[in-house]
Amino acid sequence: MDVRQLAYNVVSLSMLGLGSIARNSTREVIYRYFLHIPRGQSGRNNNGEPAQNDNNNGEPAQNDNNTGCIMNSYTAHHRRVTHSLRGSTPAALRFALFWLSLLLMAGLSSQAFSADLQIRIGYLELIKERPPLLSNVLPEPEDSGLQGARLGLKDNNAGGRFLGQNFELLETRSQQLTELIEQARDWQNEGVELLLLNMDAEALLELAGQFSPDQVLLFNVGSAENALRRGQCLPNLLHTLPSRAMLTDALAQWMKAKRLTDWMLIEGARPEDKAYADSLRRSAKRFGAKIVEQKQWSFDTDLRRSAQREVPLFTQGEDYDAVLVADELGDFGEFLLYNTWLPRPVAGTQGLKPVAWHRVVEQWGAAQLQKRFDKLAGRWMNSHDYAAWAATRSIGEAVASSGTADALSVRRQLLSEQFQLAGFKGRKLSYRSWNGQLRQPIALVQPRALVSQSPQEGFLHPVTELDTLGFDHQESQCRDLLAAANH
């Protein structure tokens, strides 16, 4: 019996049961028809339309806890069903239907998992300490990244069920790296070889060092650190989050195209601010911009009250075309806009911002991805979500085309020239074979609109213009991960 034939059996089984994730969509339609839930209301938080919130980050997920170690094996049904029962339905009816659907699922779920190939993906997140910040009015969502992985899982399963492949996501989030390492070891013993890591570079390297390269395949969905792509490459580490260099190159190309080439650079005092500023300096050199003035932000006053008085004085100096800001956590950067001594645009970590993803991206079919994410998470999709989605989908595509799911064969697939991922960015995405970075266009956004997408026209490259962003082969000391995978 060939794979496809088996797939039909699975499909027909899932037709009977309510097990398969995609069945939920049908259920949702049915609910909507019977209960007259207005369209668009079903998958959202009770707080309503995220897009109309002034809070650009939408709502943090309701059931995520910021402390301690959280473990659960996520199956999309539960969340999805609860959501589809919200809205204008009477509470009692909602309650009854909810339990009814849970009972149905419990009874039939065994059928749902009768797939030929079970692929388990681990998600490990080191929960960050958040220092007190000045721009704290609009908090970051606490489940950045995780929700993207969940959406990627749903997308994988929607296709996987036709091929007899079932994907599962195991999730562990902790403030303790040691707990995450222990978890990764346990998983690896149980045969979980594909891991998404949402953590800083240092933690990532420490965790990666626990395994030999052929044991696990790691996806960096949390660190933009340049060193991981330039010198500290690991043969089994791929990056779906753009490096800082890709972001700042994307911005520098646009600045060059707009002839805004004299920069005042303002950087914060934190190590990540310095890293972003260094990356800006590199991009300036690369694309012919000049940093005419550099300043370190060291104020300890509350700028929310005094920006109008302090910032103009602080930004006096040589004539500049633009102010470039390196303030990754958002301490002071927001207050530079409209307060600079010369009336100039602000760009970088605030103002015009290069990102992997943002809610305002809607071209190239992105509107559909945004809608699906919104339905699942009840908030806007951000760059970390996109990176986790892209990592999960990469696994899905590799397994769908090869039918194998071990770490080494997935790695070979992803690094091969044939690999392509449709990532809603207007062109196919692939991995750089020298450092494992996912090539991708970078969006330049302001809070309510897409301004541009880099690479800009005219920045040429012998292979692909996407490689004008970040570390090209010659600039990276890392060498041929594909050859390493095929050793």
Partner 1 sequence: MKKITTRTLAPLLLSACLAQMGTAQASIAYVSNEKDDSLSLIDLDSLEVIETIDVGQRPRGITFSKDFSKLYICASDDDTVQIMDTTTHQIIGELPSGEDPEQFSLHPDNRRLYISNEDDALVTVVDAQDATVLAQIDVGVEPEGMAVSPRGDLAINTSETTSMLHWIDTETHELIHNTRVEQRPRHVEFNQDGSRFWASSEIGGTVAVIDVDSKEIIKTLRFEIKGVHPDKVQPVGVKLTDDGKYAFVALGPANHVAVVDAQSFEVLDYLLVGRRVWHMEFDSKQQLLLTTNGISGDVSVIDVDDLKVTKSIKVGRYPWGVAVKP
Binding-site ranges for partner 1 (CB under 8 A): 4, 7-8, 11-12, 14-15, 20, 22-23, 25-26, 28-29, 39, 155, 158-159, 162-163, 365, 368, 371-372, 397, 400-401, 420-422, 426-428, 464-465
Sign (positive/negative) of CA torsion 92, 94, 97, 102? negative
Query: Distance between CA 225 and CA 306 in Å, rounded?
Result: 33
Q: How far is the CB of 174 from partner 1 (least distance, A)?
A: 31
Query: Distance between CA 287 and CA 188 in Å, rounded?
Result: 44
178 versus 418: smaller Cβ distance to partner 1: 418
Report yes or no: 211 and 461 within 8 Å, Cβ to Cβ: no
Report yes or no: 348 and 284 within 8 Å, Cβ to Cβ: no
Q: Which residues pair with 197 in a beta bridge?
A: 124, 220
- Listed in sequence order, the residues at least 6 apart from 191 whose beta carbon sits closer than 8 Å to its beta carbon are 120
Q: How far is the CB of 429 from partner 1 (least distance, A)?
A: 9
Q: How far is the CB of 19 from partner 1 (least distance, A)?
A: 12
Q: How far is the CB of 219 from partner 1 (least distance, A)?
A: 19
Q: How far is the CB of 22 from partner 1 (least distance, A)?
A: 5
Q: How far is the CB of 432 from partner 1 (least distance, A)?
A: 15
Task: Return the structure tokens found at 365.
Answer: 């079919």
- Residue that is written with structure tokens 């080191």 in the block: 126
32 versus 274: smaller Cβ distance to partner 1: 32
Nearest to 217, CA basis, from 458, 460, 436, 474: 436
50 versus 222: smaller Cβ distance to partner 1: 50
Question: Under DSSP, is residue 272 helix (H, G, I), strand (E, B) or coil?
Answer: helix
- Residue spans of alpha helices (H) in 190-270: 201-208, 227-230, 244-257
- Residue that is written with structure tokens 């962003």 in the block: 469
| CA geometry: angle 297, 303, 305, nearest 5 deg | 165
Sign (positive/negative) of CA torsion 431, 198, 223, 406? negative
Task: Report phi then psi at 406, rounded to 5.
Answer: -80, 160
Query: Distance between CA 391 and CA 438 in Å, rounded?
Result: 9
Sheet strands (E) in 59-155: 70-74, 117-126
What dihedral angle (degrees, nearest 10) is formed by the CA atoms of 145, 150, 153, 154?
-140
Q: How far is the CB of 158 from partner 1 (least distance, A)?
A: 5
Report yes or no: 80 and 44 within 8 Å, Cβ to Cβ: no
116 versus 140: smaller Cβ distance to partner 1: 116
Task: Return the structure tokens found at 142.
Answer: 């606490």
Q: How far is the CB of 109 from partner 1 (least distance, A)?
A: 17
The DSSP annotation for 60-105 comes to: PPTT--SSS-EEEEE-HHHHHHHHHT-SSS-HHHHHHHHHHHHHHH
316 versus 420: smaller Cβ distance to partner 1: 420
15 versus 483: smaller Cβ distance to partner 1: 15
Q: How far is the CB of 15 from partner 1 (least distance, A)?
A: 8
239 versus 393: smaller Cβ distance to partner 1: 393
| CA geometry: angle 292, 135, 336, nearest 5 deg | 25
Q: How far is the CB of 464 from partner 1 (least distance, A)?
A: 7
Report yes or no: 60 and 379 within 8 Å, Cβ to Cβ: yes
20 versus 223: smaller Cβ distance to partner 1: 20
Q: How far is the CB of 155 from partner 1 (least distance, A)?
A: 5
88 versus 486: smaller Cβ distance to partner 1: 88
139 versus 365: smaller Cβ distance to partner 1: 365
Report yes or no: 139 and 57 within 8 Å, Cβ to Cβ: yes
267 versus 465: smaller Cβ distance to partner 1: 465
